[in-house]
Structure 1
Amino acid sequence: MTTPIVTTSSLTIRSIFEKEKLSGPNFLDWFRQLRIVLKLEKKDNVLDEPIAEELPTNVHKELKDARAKHVNDSTEVAFVMLATMTPKLQKTIKFHEAFEMIELLRFMFQVQAKEERFETLNAFIGSKMAEGSSVSAHVLKMKAYVEQLAYLGFPFEDKLATDGILASLLNSLQPIFDELHNE
């Protein structure tokens, strides 16, 4: 008796089907799951970069191969995206390459993203380290807010993020971190 070969790709795609079918209100959770799977598959770049224009014939083979890989990855990801949507959304979206599809979905569900961005920004700004708590745990929490804001299309410059994190520390720790920050 032979055992079937199961690839990482089929397992991760199956996990999306079991976890989250995009229906609309769950866009942010669905998108988060999609990103995780695509990062594992090393195909998440197709959500961030459109397919480059057709290249001239005299261009280096490496560039042609990179574009061809991007086209193939984008097509595969677009089909995965469609397969993980409700039939109603499938009919609305039709087939586009992955970057265009995610841009269209973001536009359709941007209100959710704005609400989450507002809540995350408020949490970041309003955070203050609790007396007796771990500095590293607090910094990791603040860093997670910064990463979430970037994910929602509101990235902080490194200095601004650092200043926000430092401002959230206990006042008794400020002199230590001010000294480190000024170096």
Structure 2
Amino acid sequence: MLTSNNASDSSNNNNSLNTFSLLSIYAKVTFNGSNFNDWMHNIRMALRLEDKEYVLNKELNEIDESKDTPDEIAEYRAHCKDVTKVSYIMVATMTPELQLFYEDYWPYETCKELMEKYHQRSLQERYKIVNSLIITKMKDGESVTTHLQRNVDRLQKLNVNFDEELVIDIVLHSLPSFYDQFKLTYHLKKKEVTLSQLQGLLRTAESGLKTKGI
């Protein structure tokens, strides 16, 4: 049985391992000015593990502790703590030249400025990927789940909010001819579904095709 000291040591070791694992994820991509999308995608994925992605999208606004409620004060202090940690992470994963420029920025400000600075480049990359997806068809022998996930992952890597209906249209367009009946039925019903629901419908259709030997 663990003593209190041993339990404490074990907890500290686990925290150290978790921190080391997260740092190794952050360090996979170093921002050098030409790989913004890959870097931001890596940052966001790692921050999701710690529930801190919100600091990239939410600005830290000063509050008046003499007027705000205890809950608002606690939320602000937690936000300050998360912002400080994430700002260090973002700067640490940049080249030395970029570190000097962004070391005094908060994550929201850094994200906003970089999005504006590299917006045109992101648009060009988005065009290339979307164009590729439009002409890409489901591979022979590939499961519909794998195909759907591969396409959605590529869209999400762009760090751009796509309209879900557009993504569904792209996925339906990429399906091979033996899904024509499914697409016809889907459009005739005119029932709005989410991307997740579409995946369920396609799995059912795939099972039916397998039963028919297709």
2:18 alignment partner in structure 1 = 8
Provide the rounded CA distance (Å) in 1 between the counterparts of 2:51 and 2:170.
32
Which one of the candidate residues 164, 175, 178 is aligned to 2:170? 164
Quote how far apart the aligned CAs of 1:32 are: 2.2
Which one of the candidate residues 117, 123, 129 is aligned to 1:120? 129
Quote how far apart the aligned CAs of 1:167 are: 2.1
Provide the rounded CA distance (Å) in 2 between the counterparts of 1:36 and 1:140.
16
1:145 alignment partner in structure 2 = 154
Deviates more, 1:30-39 or 1:125-134: 125-134
Q: Could you say what secondary structure the match of 1:42 adopts? A: coil
1:174 aligned to 2:183?
no
Quote how far apart the aligned CAs of 1:46 are: 0.7
Provide the rounded CA distance (Å) in 1 between the counterparts of 2:128 and 2:142.
23
Does the CA contact (< 8 Å) of 1:48 and 1:99 recur in 2?
yes
Q: What pairs with 1:48-87 in structure 2 (closer than 5 Å)?
A: 48-55=57-64, 57-87=66-96
Does the CA contact (< 8 Å) of 1:16 and 1:33 recur in 2?
yes
Extract unaligned runs of 5+ from structure 1: none
Provide the rounded CA distance (Å) in 2 between the counterparts of 1:173 and 1:11.
43
Provide the rounded CA distance (Å) in 2 between the counterparts of 1:133 and 1:20.
30
**Structure 2-normalised TM-score?**
0.70
1:27 alignment partner in structure 2 = 36
Q: Could you say what secondary structure the match of 2:157 adopts? A: helix
User: Number of aligned pairs?
Assistant: 178
Provide the rounded CA distance (Å) in 1 between the counterparts of 2:59 and 2:151.
31
Which one of the candidate residues 93, 97, 109 is aligned to 2:106? 97
C-alpha spacing 1:133/1:84, structure 2 compared with 1 (3 Å):
closer
Provide the rounded CA distance (Å) in 1 between the counterparts of 2:185 and 2:55.
42
Quote how far apart the aligned CAs of 1:111 are: 4.0
Letter in 1 for 2:125: E
Q: Could you say what secondary structure the match of 2:45 adopts? A: helix
Letter in 1 for 2:184: D
C-alpha spacing 1:84/1:146, structure 2 compared with 1 (3 Å):
closer
Superposed structure 1 runs of 4+ greater than 4 Å apart: none
**Structure 1-normalised TM-score?**
0.81
C-alpha spacing 1:130/1:79, structure 2 compared with 1 (3 Å):
closer
Provide the rounded CA distance (Å) in 2 between the counterparts of 1:31 and 1:13.
15
Quote how far apart the aligned CAs of 1:24 are: 1.6
Provide the rounded CA distance (Å) in 2 between the counterparts of 1:142 and 1:132.
16
Q: State the structure with more CA Rg.
A: 2
